[in-house]
Amino acid sequence: ASLRTGWDGGGGWCRAAANPRGVGYSTDFEVHRNWLAITHNLPLSQWYYEATSEWTLDYPPFFAWFEYALSHIAKYFDPQMLVVENLNYASHATILFQRLSVIFADTLFIYAVHECCRCVNGKRAAKDILEKPTFILAVLLLWNFGLLIVDHIHFQYNGFLFGLMLLSVARLCQKRYLEGALLFAVLLHFKHIYIYVAPAYGIYLLRSYCFTANNADGSLKWRSFSFLHVTLLGLIVCLVSALSLGPFLVLGQLPQVISRLFPFKRGLCHAYWAPNFWALYNALDKALTILGLKCNFLDGTKIPKASMTGGLVQEFQHTVLPSVTPLATLICTFIAILPSVFCLWFKPQGPRGFLQCLVLCALSSFVFGWHVHEKAILLAILPLSLLSIQRAKDAGIYLILATTGHFSLFPLLFTASELPIKILLMLLFTVYSFSSLKSLFRREKPLLNWLETIYLIQLVPLEIFCEIIFPLTPWKWHFPFVPLLLTSVYCALGITYAWLKLYLSVLTERISVRQKAE
């Protein structure tokens, strides 16, 4: 049950419901097997051109080299997995190697969590180790439900990548700025999705490292600008980029690499709509289409069949609302990120302000980005864990975002045998999150208000309907996308609300003169 057919790369809502391939492993399992084969057998000049499989190499070069290194270990398990033509190859030795490689790579994540725990402010003393903020943080990160199912039940290397990110965050919190910058630059060339949070890193390093002093009132002392520090940061970025992209620049293949990394023709939404603003936008367009057909405002013959819900990863045109272009999503994302960046510059709070900006950048990109994957919500949940143990207000936002975001990952595990597994794991993590944070802030007001509590409780009947009731109805055959549509739209409401609430908290927060000076 730990390996199954996935549908996050293009199988879509209908394919997930029907599961026609009938094999027992996720799409990403085959994706990474194919990348092992490509990097092991083909010269560098063919890595980003090879297209025998539909799962072509579309990660930055450092990750390709990571696969190359793994392939030299994989050949001792089963050399047949390294044959490019062996599509959907899944021997027991191959499965064992893939699983062990993820577990081994997670050692970096464990070390990064340890370093983050060292950065936690120890003002909240507790006699019981189970109530210490550092212990709670360690559990929230290491036992994160989303990371567990995406990496160890589905199949990816997110733990390793988030380990790099958290380690860079820890280094910045420890004022080891160059190490933090180096780690983040390396991370960007492992997986380019982390470019979403690059504005937070750039502004924080400029404000805290390139400018070395503040005035007494906390305002920036412009004369403290250090050309040496800017030069050092620039050298790090240039050297890492040269090491990663230089060989392809020499080969004249940089445009091909870029086209693989940013495939805008895949469409606005993923096969399963990520629970963001565009899911709500798509749902509204569908509702208006149905209303328009019933009122004879629209011509049914001119409307594409199953548009936006057919489960295909490609471009679609909306029926009633204006169709969305990549440029439109880029503009929306830029506008959404801008206030958080201004707060980081004009209302500096040190590492805490940096984390707030990082989470807001991640959430803004998730809410308004182009072709967002549902798994990208972890990019906001994990760093928000560091804030959740510091203030009750942030803890409440974390509970809403983590519960809703993790629930939105349920469709990744869609077989009957996986149903009790995902529900049990989700319950264990959610119960611990609520109980530990409630205990940590027991002297303060409730973490959630009654409306937020009702919203989260409604996830239970939604799951019962999607997993138990709907499959027993005849709607299953005519509208197989309905459970995923409901899950996406309902979770989009919660995630968007958490984003707005965090933004409101950051924008309205008053900073003391002492905090500014620090």
Residue with the two structure tokens 């086209």: 259
What is the predicted pLDDT for the residue at 15?
31
Mean pLDDT of 91-105: 93
Helices vs strands, H then E, count in the chain = 22, 0
First vs last C-alpha separation in the chain: 52
Distance CA 137, CA 511 (A): 25
Q: Find the range with the poorest average confidence among 124-133, 154-163, 251-260, 429-438.
A: 124-133
Mean pLDDT of 322-339: 92
What is the predicted pLDDT for the residue at 512?
59
Q: Find the range with the poorest average confidence among 140-154, 274-288, 311-325.
A: 311-325
Distance CA 27, CA 244 (A): 27
At residue 228, does pLDDT exceed 70? yes
Read off the pLDDT of residues 428-439 as tens digits, 9 standing for 90 and up.
Answer: 999 999 999 999
Under the banding of pLDDT at 50, 70 and 90, the label for residue 7 is: very low
pTM of the model: 0.89
What is the predicted pLDDT for the residue at 1?
31
What is the predicted pLDDT for the residue at 319?
79
At residue 127, does pLDDT exceed 70? no
Read off the pLDDT of residues 289-328 as tens digits, 9 standing for 90 and up.
Answer: 888 878 877 766 666 655 544 444 445 677 788 888 889 9
> How many residues are present in the chain?
518
What is the predicted pLDDT for the residue at 19?
34
Provide the 3-class DSSP secondary structure of residue 220: strand
What is the predicted pLDDT for the residue at 238?
96
What is the predicted pLDDT for the residue at 285?
85
Under the banding of pLDDT at 50, 70 and 90, the label for residue 112 is: very high
More confident residue, 511 or 11: 511
On whether the CB atoms of residues 485 and 309 are closer than 8 A, the answer is yes
Under the banding of pLDDT at 50, 70 and 90, the label for residue 219 is: confident
- Kindly report the average pLDDT of the chain as a whole number: 86
What is the predicted pLDDT for the residue at 499?
96
What is the predicted pLDDT for the residue at 155?
87
Distance CA 160, CA 187 (A): 10
Provide the 3-class DSSP secondary structure of residue 22: coil
What is the predicted pLDDT for the residue at 23?
41
Read off the pLDDT of residues 51-64 as tens digits, 9 standing for 90 and up.
Answer: 888 889 999 999 99
Under the banding of pLDDT at 50, 70 and 90, the label for residue 514 is: low
User: Six-digit token pair at 428?
Assistant: 């264990």
What is the predicted pLDDT for the residue at 453?
96
Distance CA 1, CA 475 (A): 27
Q: Find the range with the poorest average confidence among 133-137, 169-173, 216-220.
A: 216-220
On whether the CB atoms of residues 181 and 201 are closer than 8 A, the answer is yes
Read off the pLDDT of residues 368-379 as tens digits, 9 standing for 90 and up.
Answer: 998 888 899 999
User: Six-digit token pair at 340?
Assistant: 């958080």
Under the banding of pLDDT at 50, 70 and 90, the label for residue 73 is: very high
Under the banding of pLDDT at 50, 70 and 90, the label for residue 18 is: very low
Render the burial of 8-28: b for 16+ CB within 10 Å, e for the rest: bbbbbbbbbbeeeeeeebbbb
Going by C-beta distance under 8 Å and a sequence separation of 6 or more, which residues neighbour residue 276?
366, 367, 368, 369, 372, 492, 495, 496
